[in-house]
Amino acid sequence: MKFLQKMSKDMKDRLITFGILFGAFLIVEILILTGGASRHLQAMLIPICINMLLAVSLNLTVGFLGELTLGHAGFMSVGAYAGCLFSIYCKDLLPVFIRYPLAMLIGGAVAAVFGILIGIPVLRLKGDYLAIVTLAFGEIIRSVIINLDFLGGAAGLKGTPQDATFISSFAVVVISVLLILNFLNSKSGRAIKSIRDNRIASESCGVQITYYKMLAFVFSAFFAGIAGVIYGHNLNILTADTFDYNKSIEILLIVVLGGMGSIRGSVIAAVIITALPEALRGLDKYRMVIYAVLLIAIMIFNSSEFGKRIREKYDPKKLFAKKNAVKKENADE
């Protein structure tokens, strides 16, 4: 167990995140294989993965770069349409295992290009201004899609092959979380966090503010695009109205609930926000009211002193700490 002690804080953090991810994955897979999972639960798995991807990627700009953006659904829609168009045209040309990953890369890349295009004028702004302008960009993307006939217009794009599976979506989530965590621990990631903490100080240290801001923004758009591609391949209809500002706010909600700057928090909150309205189906017409009330309650609990104490008490990091302490005692003896 010595390596546990030697492990850096980051490494431990990562182990916990992936432990939770794989633990949940195993439980769900066992349930599916033993027939214990209802169809309702199974249908929710892919949307949960999509929301995880969206939240983790938005956390890059909101949590780590410290800039509030409200246009994440716009990048998701661009990625979704690009990936789905590719899949529709290549349906008969390529087998699934080549076509689907390619569609994801294309969706992500197109979203990233839009990230650059939008980032150039937008990232000159800060705070509230940035939030409003990104909101507007999200709406522009939506309006343009509605008016483009080759994207299906208002009726939506149909005929995308349903390639998304839970296992492939989960794999994408794991790879993305790994990439994002590595990115955050790299030189670039530290530069991005320094901009958030003190822009003037980091600039005086020679950090190129514009470059790193853009990098975080584009990275975030790329993963949102991939999430969009999975979304498009999960349903056989893609309508632009799905990606309105409500969607952007829902993603932001996940990030805020999970804690800004906490990847693990985003992952857990994505599960809660996706599953909560579904778990409340039994309440019939009071469902959305109760959902809203619960959200308020969760937010208050999360930011209260009591909530903080509870979380500290049950912090998974303590598992390591305890073990280490025990080990030390043993060694002393």
Partner 1 sequence: MKKILCLAIALLMMVMALASCTGAKNDGKKLVIGATGPLTGDNASYGISVKKGAEIAVKEINAAGGINGITFELMFEDDVCDPTNAVNAYNTLMDKGMQVSLGAVTSGACVALTEEARKDGILMITPSGSQKECTQYDNCFRICFTDPDQGTYAADFISDNNVGKKVAIIYDKSNDYSNGIYTNFVTEAGKKNLEIVTSQSYTNQSNTDFSVQLQAVKESGADLLFLPIYYADAGLILTQAAQKELNVIFFGVDGMDGIIKQMGEDKAALTEGVMLLTPFAADSSDPKVVSFVKVFKETYNNETPDQFAADGYDAIYAIAEALKYTGITDTTVADLNEKMVGAMTNITLEGVTGKMTWSADGEASKSATAVVINNSKYVAYSK
Binding region for partner 1 (CB under 8 A): 23-24, 27-28, 31, 36-44, 47, 143, 146-147, 153-156, 158, 162, 231, 234-237, 239, 241-242, 275, 278-279, 281-282, 284-285, 287-288, 314, 316, 318-319
Give min distance, CB of 122 to partner 1, in A: 21
Give min distance, CB of 279 to partner 1, in A: 6
Comparison of 88 and 260: residue with beta carbon closer to partner 1: 88
CB contact at 8 A, 24 and 271: yes
Comparison of 42 and 198: residue with beta carbon closer to partner 1: 42
At 275, which helix (H) or strand (E)?
Answer: helix 263-279
Q: What is the Cα–Cα distance from 326 to 193, expressed in whole angstroms?
A: 35
Give min distance, CB of 66 to partner 1, in A: 31
Distance (Å) of CA 113 to CA 73, 116, 305: 15, 5, 43
- Residue entry with tokens 């249908």: 43
Comparison of 157 and 218: residue with beta carbon closer to partner 1: 157
Comparison of 43 and 205: residue with beta carbon closer to partner 1: 43
Query: Which residues lie below 8 Å from residue 266, measured CB to CB, with a gap of 6+?
Result: 52, 55, 56, 58, 59, 63, 254, 255, 258, 259
Give min distance, CB of 275 to partner 1, in A: 6
Comparison of 47 and 115: residue with beta carbon closer to partner 1: 47
Give min distance, CB of 17 to partner 1, in A: 14
Q: What is the Cα–Cα distance from 113 to 135, expressed in whole angstroms?
A: 18
Q: Which of 58, 118, 74, 103 is nearest to 260 (CA)?
A: 58
